[in-house]
Amino acid sequence: MKKGLYNIIKGKFLVSDDALKNWRFILFLSILALIMIASSHSADQKVHRIAQLNNNVKELKSEYLDVRKQLMQAKMESRITAAMAKRGLVPSITPPQIIKITNPKK
């Protein structure tokens, strides 16, 4: 057991006669490790991008609500009346009259 452990520590399995299959396996494991690291990095980038987009969505929703509130306030009759009063226009005192058209062909 000790001799096998010493051979591994010294790296004799890399320079022995059948070392080619060991090198192939080490190369395979290295490629898998690189793929795993690249995949992890890509996933981290996607997570950061999703968080950034979620923040943008929250900001846009907030801006939408502010603009909608301003629009509702601008459409209020009292505000329109006040704005038109500055220009010299006032609401009519007499209500509008209904015009009825009768069909003479009947």
pLDDT-based confidence at 18, cuts 50/70/90?
Answer: confident
Residue 63 covered by a domain: yes
Q: Is the pLDDT of residue 51 over 80?
A: yes
Residue 12 covered by a domain: yes
Task: State the DSSP string of the chain.
Answer: -HHHHHHHHHTHHHHSTTHHHHHHHHHHHHHHHHHHHHHHHHHHHHHHHHHHHHHHHHHHHHHHHHHHHHHHHHT-HHHHHHHHHHTT----SSPPPPP----TT-
pLDDT at 74: 87
Query: How many domains does the chain fold into?
Result: 1
Residue 20 covered by a domain: yes
Residue 15 covered by a domain: yes
Give the domain range for residue 34: 2-86
| pLDDT top residue among 104 and 59 | 59
Residue 58 covered by a domain: yes
Residue 101 covered by a domain: no
Residue 31 covered by a domain: yes
Residue 75 covered by a domain: yes
